[in-house]
Structure 1
Amino acid sequence: MLRILKEVRQGGEGSTADVSALEKWYSDDLPNILLEFDLKDIWNADEKGLFYRQVPNKSLVGEEEGIPKGVKLKKERITVLLSGNALGERFPVWLAG
């Protein structure tokens, strides 16, 4: 499987990024790369952490009630993977946890 793009975490200051080079790459290089593939073969996947037992960290209270005491947040989570291709086809959701 050929992978052209990958996700990376950016570090440092955002003001040092070369925005003009990125715009040039998007307008000149990326369209030529995408021409090499069928739309069914261009897809995106995104993972999300779902903390299913966690209580909200904000609350509304009346003036007479005061500030509620803190609650330790639960850490149980499920990782959800969502994916689809450039034709708009969605693939089955994957769960891990």
Structure 2
Amino acid sequence: MSGEAASAKEIDTSEWEDTLQKILADYSPRDIFNADETGLFYKCLPIKSLTFQGQACSDQKATKERVSLLCAANMDGS
């Protein structure tokens, strides 16, 4: 689920909390995970650079090569 956040009705959130507690009761903490995806631009050069006075600095096109990473941890930290 992604996108802009929308306001939720208070009734809906309390129902979801009850439902979630019932679902999680069937699992041990080591089996409950939280995960998120991020991108690592590993060939990206800095936008600015330092040069000596009088030296030219040429512009380079930014690379879009990246690796997608999935970071996850379980509830008990094992």
Q: What fraction of aligned residue pairs are identical, expressed as a percent?
A: 32
| Structure 1 residue runs of 4 or more that deviate by more than 4 Å after TM superposition | none
Q: CA offsets, 1:50-93, max 9 Å, x none?
A: 00121345x5xxxxxxxxx965221111122222211112xxxx
Under a length normalisation based on structure 2, what TM-score does the superposition of the two structures give? 0.64
Q: Do structure 1's residue 42 and structure 2's residue 42 form an aligned pair? A: no
Shift of 1:18: 2.4
User: Which one of the candidate residues 61, 64, 71 is aligned to 1:75?
Assistant: 64
Q: Higher relative CO (CA 8 A, sep ≥ 6), structure 1 or 2?
A: 2
Unaligned runs of 5+ in 2: 49-57
The aligned counterpart of 1:87 is 76
Q: Distance in 1 between matches of 2:28 and 2:63?
A: 44
Structure 2 counterpart of 1:23, one-letter code? T
User: Which one of the candidate residues 32, 40, 44 is aligned to 1:54?
Assistant: 44
**What's the RMSD between the two structures over aligned residues?**
2.9
Structure 2 counterpart of 1:79, one-letter code? S
Under a length normalisation based on structure 1, what TM-score does the superposition of the two structures give? 0.54
| Larger-Rg structure | 2
Q: Do structure 1's residue 10 and structure 2's residue 3 form an aligned pair? A: yes
